[in-house]
């Protein structure tokens, strides 16, 4: 299904096994969009996780680009999954969550691992894919700062600072300390740009109450910005934030209440580390009786569509 990109290569490139459709598109300069897989294995319940994985790929195709969902199996980073592999990843037990700090562990292992934003960016950059869609990026967790802070900051943020890939999301996940997350990205030199809105989108909600550091009116302007950012060779990624479609958005006040409650529950249950984000997302799905999942699915598919449009615009330049 996938073939080694660089059979004699060292580094991350030597680990890549790329689907034929994806390597053909890359070789011909046609648009490709990377998609991550942790939202499939750890972020959403079955069967919505399979549905969203397929719908996100379809949305990328409708925009005229080729989807490349990234995951790890048997020591290889798969770039572009078959439908069967996608279903396996969504249903099999014991899938590891691979970020930059756990990438070597995942590759040294034998089984499946899903890639987070950080690990997917690493794979995308190594494969030559410039545009990547996720749901919401990780960031500074609530309670991370202050005298007794946990210091829990997602490796997504450092990756955005050091890996030149354009990431399309619906804002930092609303479970996070979003103001601190934006400060961190600014310090580390990552442009954060909202498309078509003055606010940072609130992940499940269209609003967050926070002004976006920068705004572009549309996808064409976003693509121009990616081109300029890439040309400068700063080495960093660029983050675009797109609001969840109106029809499936979850009201901001209700989302805030659900997040507060879920965070108290997580504290009481002693959840921490890489388990925290999946635990909170699952708890909020319970508290909102599935409304958060509906919004999450809609925003992922929408981000994939926008990423496809940006990739197609870039490829046409």
Catalytic residues: 36, 173
Q: Can you tell me whether residue 99 is helix, strand or coil?
A: coil
Q: Which of residues 149-168 bind Mn ion (CB under 5 A)?
A: 152
- According to CB under 6 A, which one of 181, 208, 296, 302 is a site residue for ligand PSU? 296
Q: What are phi and psi of 178, to 5 degrees?
A: -70, -45
Q: Give 23 or 115: the residue with its C-beta nearer to ligand PSU.
A: 115
**Cβ 102 to ligand PSU, closest distance in Å?**
10
**Can you tell me the distance from the alpha carbon of 124 to that of 78, in angstroms, rounded to the nearest whole number?**
11
- According to CB under 6 A, which one of 31, 67, 80, 136 is a site residue for ligand PSU? 136
Q: Give 57 or 156: the residue with its C-beta nearer to ligand PSU.
A: 156
| Contact assessment for residue 156 and residue 137, using Cβ atoms and an 8 Å cutoff | yes
Please, what's the b/e burial string for 16-45 (b: 16 or more CB within 10 A of its CB; e: otherwise)? bbbbeebbebbeeebbbbbbbbbbbbbbbe
Please, what's the b/e burial string for 83-93 (b: 16 or more CB within 10 A of its CB; e: otherwise)? eebbbbbbeee
In the list ligand PSU, Mn ion, none, the entry touching 136 (Cβ below 5 to 8 angstroms by class) is ligand PSU
Q: Give 12 or 176: the residue with its C-beta nearer to ligand PSU.
A: 176
In the list ligand PSU, Mn ion, none, the entry touching 73 (Cβ below 5 to 8 angstroms by class) is none
Q: Give 139 or 313: the residue with its C-beta nearer to ligand PSU.
A: 139
Q: Which two tokens stand for residue 191?
A: 């442009």
Q: What are phi and psi of 304, to 5 degrees?
A: -65, -40
**Can you tell me the distance from the alpha carbon of 290 to that of 115, in angstroms, rounded to the nearest whole number?**
24
Q: Which of residues 5-44 bind ligand PSU (CB under 6 A)?
A: 36, 38-39, 42-43
Q: Give 130 or 177: the residue with its C-beta nearer to ligand PSU.
A: 177
Contacts of 204 (CB under 8 A, 6+ apart): 174, 244, 249, 250, 255, 292, 295, 296, 299
Binding mask 186-225 toward ligand PSU (x if CB under 6 A, else -) reads: ----------------------------------------
**Can you tell me the distance from the alpha carbon of 29 to that of 125, in angstroms, rounded to the nearest whole number?**
15
**Residue 303 contacts ligand PSU per CB under 6 A:** no
Residues engaged in binding ligand PSU (CB under 6 A): 36, 38-39, 42-43, 99, 116-117, 134-136, 138, 154-156, 274, 277, 281, 296, 300
Residues engaged in binding Mn ion (CB under 5 A): 152
């Amino acid at each position: 299904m996938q073939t080694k990109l660089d059979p004699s290569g060292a580094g991350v490139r030597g680990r890549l096994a790329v689907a034929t459709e994806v390597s053909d598109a890359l070789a011909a300069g046609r648009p490709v969009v990377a998609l991550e897989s942790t939202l499939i294995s750890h972020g959403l319940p079955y069967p919505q996780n399979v549905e969203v994985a397929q719908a996100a790929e379809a949305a990328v195709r409708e925009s005229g680009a080729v989807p490349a969902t990234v995951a790890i199996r048997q020591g290889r980073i798969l770039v572009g999954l078959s439908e069967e592999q996608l279903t396996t990843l969504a249903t099999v037990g014991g899938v590891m969550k691979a970020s930059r700090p756990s990438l070597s562990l995942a590759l040294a292992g034998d089984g499946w691992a899903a890639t987070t934003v950080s690990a997917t960016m690493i794979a995308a950059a190594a494969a030559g894919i410039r545009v990547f869609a996720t749901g919401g990026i990780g960031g500074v967790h609530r309670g991370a700062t202050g005298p007794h802070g946990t210091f829990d900051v997602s490796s997504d943020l450092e990756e955005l600072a050091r890996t030149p890939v354009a990431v399309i999301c619906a804002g930092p996940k609303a479970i996070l300390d979003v103001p601190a997350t934006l400060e961190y990205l600014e310090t580390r030199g990552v442009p954060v740009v909202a498309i078509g809105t003055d606010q940072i989108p609130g992940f499940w909600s269209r609003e967050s109450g926070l002004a976006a550091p920068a705004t572009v009116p549309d996808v064409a302007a976003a693509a121009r910005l990616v081109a300029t950012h890439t040309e400068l060779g700063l080495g960093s990624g660029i983050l675009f934030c797109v609001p969840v479609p109106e029809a499936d958005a979850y009201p901001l006040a209700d989302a805030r209440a659900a997040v507060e409650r879920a965070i108290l529950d997580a504290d009481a249950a002693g959840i921490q580390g890489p388990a925290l984000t999946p635990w909170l997302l699952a708890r909020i799905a319970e508290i909102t009786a599935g409304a958060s999942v509906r919004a999450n699915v809609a925003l992922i598919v929408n981000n994939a569509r926008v990423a496809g449009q940006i990739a197609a615009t870039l490829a046409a330049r």
